[in-house]
Structure 1
Amino acid sequence: MSDIEFPDDLIQLESAAWEAHQRGVLTAGEAADVQAAITAHAEATGLDRYTVEMALKKLVRHPATEATEA
């Protein structure tokens, strides 16, 4: 999907939020933290926030797919 490089802490944050979501325990605060981190990364890299968010979600939620596209 993309060649965006994500810092490990952003990947870990999204991974933890995804796991919490799957367990049904994701809080609004945790979700807001992820969104803030995504927005900050998008701004720092000059990329569209939506593009960054979708690439990060794909990386975390579908790692096998991402690996086969590389």
Structure 2
Amino acid sequence: MSDIDFPAELVELERSAWEAAQRGELTADLAAKVQARITAFAEASGLDRYTAEMALKKLVRHPEPDA
């Protein structure tokens, strides 16, 4: 799992956007909402937005199997 402690609501928001994208139903509004939340989280955490976004996408799209 990621070394970054993402809030559950941000993980769920990214997951819903990823699932919508997989169905071909991702809207610009949802994508913008995800980007805004990632940016706010990164700024509040002192992280680079790109680093936070890539870690979140990896967490959602490629979860590690349970040990």
TM-score tier, shorter chain, comes to over 0.9
TM-score (norm 2): 0.93
Instruction: Please tell me whether the aligned partners of residues 2 and 59 of structure 2 are also in contact (alpha carbons under 8 angstroms).
Output: no
Higher helix share: 1
Q: Distance in 2 between matches of 1:11 and 1:53?
A: 11
TM-score (norm 1): 0.89
Tell which has more relative contact order, 1 or 2 (C-alpha 8 A, sep 6+).
2
Instruction: Please tell me whether the aligned partners of residues 11 and 56 of structure 2 are also in contact (alpha carbons under 8 angstroms).
Output: yes
Q: Distance in 1 between matches of 2:62 and 2:3?
A: 15
Residue in structure 2 matched with residue 30 of structure 1 by the alignment: 30
Percent identity between the aligned chains?
A: 70
Structure 1 segments (4+ residues) deviating >2 Å: none
Number of residue pairs matched?
A: 67
Deviations 1:3-50 (A, max 9, x none): 110000000000000000000000000000000000000000000000
Unpaired runs of at least 5, structure 1: none
Residue in structure 1 matched with residue 7 of structure 2 by the alignment: 7
